[in-house]
Amino acid sequence: MAIEQGQNIPEATLVKVTPDGPQQVKSGEFFAGRKVALFSVPGAFTPTCSAKHLPSFVEKADALRAKGIDEIVCTAVNDPFVLGAWNKADGSSDVTMLADGNGDFAKALGLEMDGTAFGLGHRGQRFSMVVDDGVVTQLNVEAPGEYRVSSAEHMLDQL
């Protein structure tokens, strides 16, 4: 069952990409006490993710902060080194990368997808959410193959 608005972020271990290397973080601790714009992509360097999804949050970072967002986070079922390289190539220091290498976070959210038919394995769905002190206050899950409701622009309209 997928997470819903009003529910707490489930506990999972993610890996934060930092200049000093990968750092494990517990989701409950990471999202506590602040308002986070979280978006998930099926994979770093994939076409829609690189051309639209990550750039929307990079371009709208200041506007999101002006609406009360404390941190912008991208997660994907990729290892932290891939997410770090992707952020260096296409991202910004305005976006924190959290690797969900084994897909445990996506699975705990109930937002995993099976991309094995395309040679992608099991990944996280494309979505965005606002997490306020560990509680999901907005949730935007894309239909397969879509990119609309998980964009930074859509999130700005919700804030």
What pLDDT, on the 0 to 100 scale, is given for residue 25? 97
CA distance 136 to 149: 16
Residue 150 lies in a domain: yes
User: Using 50, 70 and 90 to split pLDDT, how confident is the model at 115?
Assistant: confident
What pLDDT, on the 0 to 100 scale, is given for residue 50? 85
Cβ neighbour number for residue 135 with a 10 Å cutoff: 13
Q: Are 155 and 64 in contact (CB under 8 A)?
A: yes
In this prediction, residues 37-65 reach a mean pLDDT of: 93
Residue ranges of alpha helices (H) inside 15-127 are 27-31, 47-48, 54-59, 61-66, 80-90, 104-109
- Tokens standing for residue 81: 């080194």
CA distance 27 to 12: 5
Residue 1 lies in a domain: no
Residue 3 lies in a domain: no
Q: Are 134 and 31 in contact (CB under 8 A)?
A: yes
Residue 30 lies in a domain: yes
Highest mean pLDDT among 41-45, 46-50, 107-111: 107-111
What pLDDT, on the 0 to 100 scale, is given for residue 102? 95
CATH of the domain at 26: 3.40.30.10
Q: How many domains does the chain have?
A: 1
Residue 6 lies in a domain: no
Residue 23 lies in a domain: yes
Residue 83 lies in a domain: yes
Residue 4 lies in a domain: no
Q: What is the pLDDT of residues 122-147, one digit of tens each?
A: 989 999 999 999 999 999 999 988 99
In this prediction, residues 99-110 reach a mean pLDDT of: 97
Total count of residues recorded for the chain: 159
Of all residues in the chain, what percent carry a pLDDT higher than 70?
100
Residues labelled catalytic: 49
Quote the domain boundaries for residue 52: 13-158
Q: Are 56 and 154 in contact (CB under 8 A)?
A: no
Residue 118 has pLDDT above 90, yes or no: no
Q: Across all residues in the chain, what is the average pLDDT? A: 94
